[in-house]
Structure 1
Amino acid sequence: MSRAYLFPGQGSQAVGMGKELAAAFAAARHLFQEVDDALSQKLSTLMFEGPESDLTLTENAQPALMAASVAVVRVLEKEFGVDLAAKGSYAAGHSLGEYSALCAMGALSVADTARLLKLRGQSMQKAVPVGEGAMAALLGAELDLAKEVVAEAAQGDVLGCANDNGGGQVVISGKKEAVERAIEVAKTKGVKRGMLLPVSAPFHCAMMQPAADAMAEALGKVTMNVPKLPVVSNVTAKGESNPDDIRRLLVEQVTGLVRWRESMLWLKQQGVAQVAELGSGKVLAGLMKRIDKDVEPLSIGQPAELEAFAKSLS
Structure 2
Amino acid sequence: MAVAFTFPGQGSQAVGMGKDLADNFPEARAIFQEVDDALGENLSKLIWEGPEETLTLTANAQPALMAVSLAAIKALEVGGLSLKDKVAYVAGHSLGEYSALAAAGFVSVADAARLLRIRGNAMQAAVPAGEGAMAAIIGLEQADVEAACTEAGQGSGKICQIANDNGGGQLVISGAKAAVELAAKLCTEKGAKRALMLQVSAPFHSALMAPAANVMRDALAAVARSAPVVPVISNVSVTPSNDADEITRRLVEQVTGRVRWRETVEWFGANGVTALYEVGAGKVLSGLARRINRDIAISAVGTAADVEAALAALS
TM, length-normalised to structure 1 = 0.98
1:108 paired to 2:112: no
Could you tell me which residue of structure 1 aligns to residue 116 of structure 2?
Answer: 117
Shift of the alpha carbon at 1:151?
Answer: 1.2
| 1:160 aligned counterpart, secondary structure | strand
Distance 2:195 2:280 in 1: 29
**Cα distance in 2 between the residues matched to 1:230 and 1:184:** 40
For 2:89, the equivalent position in structure 1 comes to 90
Following TM superposition, by how much is the alpha carbon of 1:264 offset from its aligned partner in structure 2, in angstroms?
1.0
Q: CA deviation at 1:235?
A: 0.7
Taking the aligned partners of 1:263 and 1:33, their CA distance within structure 2 comes to 32
User: CA separation in 2, counterparts of 1:91 and 1:178?
Assistant: 35
Q: State the distance in 2 between where 1:262 and 1:96 align.
A: 17
Contact 1:90/1:231, CA 8 A, preserved across alignment: yes
Letter in 2 for 1:300: V
How far apart in 1 are the matches of 2:141 and 2:117? Answer: 32
2: CA distance between counterparts of 1:269 and 1:167? 17
RMSD in angstroms over aligned alpha carbons?
Answer: 0.7
Task: Say whether residues 1:275 and 2:276 are aligned partners.
Answer: yes
- Could you tell me how far 1:234 is from its partner in structure 2? 0.4
Gaps of 5+ in 2: none
Structure 2 counterpart SS, 1:165:
strand
For the 8 Å contact 1:186–1:194, the answer to whether it is kept is: yes
- Aligned counterpart, 1:170: 171
Kept in 1: contact 2:27–2:74 (CA 8 A)? yes
Give yes or no for the alignment of 1:149 onto 2:148.
yes
The equivalent of 2:28 in structure 1 is 28
How far apart, CA to CA, are the structure 2 residues paired with 1:141 and 1:5? 29
Letter matched to residue 101 of structure 2: L
Which residue number in structure 1 is paired with residue 253 of structure 2?
A: 252
Q: Which amino acid aligns with 2:190?
A: K
Percent identity, aligned pairs only, is 55
| Separation in structure 2 between the aligned mates of residue 298 and residue 257 of structure 1, nearest angstrom | 25
Question: Aligned with 1:286: secondary structure?
Answer: helix
Deviation at 1:47, TM superposition (A): 0.4
User: Number of paired residues?
Assistant: 313
Normalized against structure 2, the TM-score is what?
0.98
1:240 is displaced (CA, Å) by 1.4
Q: What's the CA shift for 1:142? A: 3.3
8 Å contact kept, 1:142–1:166: no
Distance in 2, matches of 1:13 and 1:290, equals: 21
- Runs of 4+ with deviation above 2 angstroms: none
Q: Counterparts of 1:141 and 1:213 in 2: how far apart (Å)?
A: 33
| Distance in 2 (alpha carbons) for counterparts of 1:89 and 1:145 | 35
Q: What does residue 138 of structure 1 align with?
A: 137
Amino acid at match of 2:75: V
2:240 is aligned with 1:236: no
Shift of 1:150: 0.6
* 1:61 Cα offset (Å): 0.1
Q: How does 1:174-189 map to 2 (within 5 A)?
A: 174-189=175-190
SS of the counterpart of 1:23?
Answer: helix
Per-residue deviation, 1:84: 2.2
